[in-house]
C-alpha cells in the first residue's frame, strides 16, 4: 500500500516538474510574449522583430541593410527605447544578432550586472524593451 502511495506522489511531482519545465521553455523562447505588459504601453516583453520595433517606436525601417539598421537603432535610442537582457539569454542573443553591428547603438542594460535597476523597473523576462519617459533619473541609468 505504501509503495502505491509513493508511486502516486512521485507521479504527481513528476507531472508538476514537467509542467514547470515546459512553461519555462515556452517563456524563454518568447512564446508567451505580452505586448504591452499590464497596460504599460511603453513596456514590451519578448524578442521583437525589427518590423515590430518599427511599429511601436515609429522609427522608420527602410531596409535591413547595415546603414539603415544603424539609422533605425539610433532612432530607437533617441526615442528612449532600452533593451533589458542577460548575456546567457538565447532570445537576447537572437535579438542582438537581428541588429548585427548596429546593436552598438542600442541602449542596453545587462540585468545580472544591474539587478536592482531591473527589479525596480519590473523586468520579469528577457529581453524586455522599455520606452523610457524622460526624467532626471532615466538619464543616469547604468548601462552596458
Sheet holding 81-85, edge to edge: 43-45, 128-131, 81-85, 107-110
The cell 511603453 sits on which residue?
42
13 with 3, same domain? yes
125 with 71, same domain? yes
* d(C-alpha 31, C-alpha 18), whole Å: 17
pTM: 0.65
Tens of pLDDT, residue by residue over 19-49, are 666 555 545 444 434 344 444 557 788 888 8
How many structural domains is the chain composed of? 2
27 with 88, same domain? no
3-state secondary structure of 120: helix
19 with 70, same domain? no
Amino acid at each position: 500500500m505504501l509503495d502505491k502511495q509513493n508511486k502516486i506522489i512521485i507521479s504527481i511531482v513528476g507531472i508538476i516538474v514537467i509542467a514547470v519545465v515546459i512553461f519555462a521553455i515556452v517563456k524563454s523562447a518568447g512564446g508567451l510574449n505580452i505586448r504591452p505588459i499590464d497596460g504599460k504601453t511603453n513596456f514590451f516583453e519578448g524578442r521583437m522583430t525589427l518590423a515590430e520595433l518599427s511599429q511601436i517606436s515609429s522609427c522608420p525601417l527602410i531596409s535591413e541593410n547595415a546603414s539603415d539598421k544603424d539609422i533605425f537603432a539610433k532612432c530607437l535610442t533617441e526615442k528612449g527605447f532600452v533593451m533589458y537582457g542577460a548575456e546567457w539569454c538565447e532570445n537576447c542573443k537572437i535579438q542582438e544578432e537581428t541588429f548585427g553591428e548596429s546593436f552598438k547603438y542600442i541602449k542596453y542594460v545587462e540585468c545580472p550586472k544591474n539587478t536592482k535597476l531591473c527589479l525596480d523597473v519590473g523586468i520579469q523576462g528577457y529581453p524586455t524593451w522599455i520606452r523610457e519617459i524622460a526624467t532626471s533619473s532615466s538619464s543616469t541609468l547604468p548601462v552596458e
